[in-house]
Amino acid sequence: MPLLAIPFPAFDPIAVSIGPFAVHWYALAYIFGILGAWWLARVIAENQKLWGGHSPMKAADVDDVITWCALGIVLGGRLGYVLFYGKSYFFEHPLDALKLWHGGMSFHGGFLGTILALLLFARSKKISMLSMLDLGAIVTPIGLFLGRIANFVNGELWGRVTDVPWAMIFPNAGLLPRHPSQLYEAALEGIVLFAIGMIAVRMGALKRPGLVGGLFVLCYGLARIASEHFREPDAQLGFLAGGLTMGMLLSIPMLIAGGTAIVCALRAKARKA
């Protein structure tokens, strides 16, 4: 073992076990991420001042849409993983795509699934679609942070080989020291994005529908591309053309979409009381 490497802490991926039933930290990350997002979304939806004097939705709408979002996250995340990261394997073993307990979720798939859920709900309730997306963008980093911490606890999605002093030896990644890239992503995609979103809200961004959503999409794309430089590519895919990873490739359209949304929101008239 390299002298400067930090041994990976002996985490138990199971948080609670009662007889044959076990609850994993990863499942708890999803549960508490959704609950945290629900609570904060209700607080923001009820704050009329943040929306320019009149909120386009009620707290009760948040209570209803959270179920739609949970389905969008799980179904979209799993479908995205199957299509983006394991298409050849699942083509040969289609029933394994249903085994969610074996892991395998894609942020980009869950992101698209959540957007679809928010848009369909907003349309059914005649709520501003852009404002609904803005609200979703503010609270999403909560789940991202907890999800990356769960990745670290599980000792999965480890980083590339390195000699930095804080490098770790992950139990299933051989004997070479690696970046704890899960923690980098938790900081960038969770803490930094949450801070950017809340600062934007405090500065009146919700008065311009689409601005907060655009900021999230653009900043997530930048954060993911940056963190992918430290994360080991998925074994079944490796590096793609030009040294890109699948995470980088899927994040490039987010830069374009986010930048476009920001420009359009700033050009439009701000919402007034």
pLDDT (tens digit, 9 = 90+) per residue, 109-127? 888 999 999 999 999 999 9
* Helix, strand, coil percentages, rounded to 5, for the chain: 65, 5, 30
**Helices 107-125 and 59-85: crossing angle, nearest 10°?**
140
Average pLDDT over residues 30-42: 94
Q: Between the ranges 58-72, 76-90, 183-197, where is the mean pLDDT highest?
A: 183-197
Q: What is the pLDDT of residue 272?
A: 65
Structure tokens at 203: 């500065």
Q: What digits encode the pLDDT tens for the residues 73-117?
A: 888 888 877 777 766 666 665 665 656 555 667 888 888 999 999
What distance in Å separates the CA atoms of residue 131 and residue 67, rounded to the nearest whole number? 18
Q: What is the mean pLDDT of the chain?
A: 89
Q: Is the pLDDT of residue 183 over 80?
A: yes
Yes or no: say if 15 and 24 are a contact pair by the CB < 8 Å rule. yes
What are the sequence ranges of the domains in the chain?
25-267
Yes or no: say if 123 and 68 are a contact pair by the CB < 8 Å rule. no
Q: What is the pTM of this model?
A: 0.88
